[in-house]
Amino acid sequence: MPAQPQSQSVDIVERDAVPVAAIEHRGDPARLGDTIRTFIAWRREHRLHPSVSATYNVVYDNPDDVAPEAFRMDLCAATREPIAPNAAGVTARTLAGGRYAVLRHKGSDDTLGQSVAWLYADWLPASGEALRDVPLLFQRVRFYPDVPEHEAITDILLPLK
């Protein structure tokens, strides 16, 4: 049984689609830092600081459930601006709107997987809700290095039918 997150308050919300600039990370999660640094540099160049542009992760795979070379995750920044072809590989995408269950995770990413596991294994079966066929999203509300890791806030967005 997954550990209970600090907050068990799950809200169901209706969200609009969100246009984003996205960079794909494909491969070993240990190399995710390289992709993050590339994306940060691109964001700085385009003045999309997290204070003015919401930050999202599109989570396709649990790194514990796939081979390192098969891991997939996208890093995104909300923007309505056109995305010109660029050396960083950032492209325009749209995050799906619709119904989402939202669980707020506070603290380090080291325990984020426990909150996600609880949402899937405990909350979802008890809720009577069903999953939609779109990826899980993380909205990074407050994150390192802007705040200490223990003060980080990530909203886990579980897509519902």
| 2, part of any domain | no
Encode pLDDT of 89-138 as tens digits.
999 999 999 999 999 999 999 999 999 999 999 999 999 999 999 999 99
| 1, part of any domain | no
Range of the domain at 136: 10-160
What CA–CA distance (Å, rounded) separates 88 from 129?
38
CATH number of the domain to which 144 belongs: 3.20.80.10
| 5, part of any domain | no
| 3, part of any domain | no
What CA–CA distance (Å, rounded) separates 54 from 72?
20
| 143, part of any domain | yes
- E strand intervals along 61-135: 72-78, 91-95, 98-106
| 103, part of any domain | yes
pLDDT at position 6 over 80: no
| 129, part of any domain | yes
> Could you tell me the pTM of the whole model?
0.92
**Which amino acid, residue 42?**
W
